[in-house]
Amino acid sequence: MPVVRIFSKVAKQALLSTPGCGCQPLTVAVRNISFSPRQVTSDASFHSVSFSETDHPKVLITGGLGQLGVGLAKLLRKRYGKNNVILSDIRKPQNSVFHSGPFIYSDILDYKNLREIVVNNRITWLVHYSALLSAVGEANVALARSVNITGLHNILDIAAEHGLRLFVPSTIGAFGPTSPRNPTPDLCVQRPRTIYGVSKVHAELMGEYYHHRYGLDFRCLRYPGIISADSMPGGGTTDYAVQIFHDAIKTGKFECNLRPDTRLPMMYIDDCLRATLEVMEAPAETLSMRTYNINAMSFTPEELAQELQKQMPELEVTYEVDPVRQAIADSWPMNFDDSNARNDWAWKHDYDLPELVQTMLNFFGSETRMARFN
3-state secondary structure 188-249: CCCCCCCHHHHHHHHHHHHHHHHHHHHCCEEEEEEECEEECCCCCCCCCHHHHHHHHHHHHH
pTM of the predicted structure, to 2 decimals: 0.82
Q: By the 8 A CB rule, do 188 and 179 touch? A: yes
Is residue 370 pLDDT above 70, yes or no? no
Mean residue pLDDT of the chain comes to 86
Is residue 165 pLDDT above 60, yes or no? yes
Residue that wins the pLDDT comparison between 88 and 36: 88
Q: From CA 24, how far away is CA 37, in angstroms rounded?
A: 21
Q: Percentage of the chain surpassing pLDDT 90?
A: 75
Please write the tens of the pLDDT for every residue from 89-133. 999 999 999 999 999 999 999 999 999 999 999 999 999 999 988
Domain boundary assignment for the chain: 131-372
What pLDDT score does 237 carry? Answer: 84
Query: What CA–CA distances, in Å, run from 132 to 71, 154, 208, 236?
Result: 18, 16, 22, 9
15 pLDDT band, cuts 50/70/90, is very low
- Catalytic positions are 196
What's the DSSP call for residue 170? E
Please write the tens of the pLDDT for every residue from 217-234. 999 999 999 998 877 776
Q: Percentage of the chain surpassing pLDDT 70?
A: 82
> Is CATH 3.40.50.880 what the domain over 131-372 is classified as, yes or no?
no
Q: By the 8 A CB rule, do 339 and 288 touch? A: no
What pLDDT score does 3 carry? Answer: 40
Contacts of 318 (CB under 8 A, 6+ apart): 253, 254, 255, 256
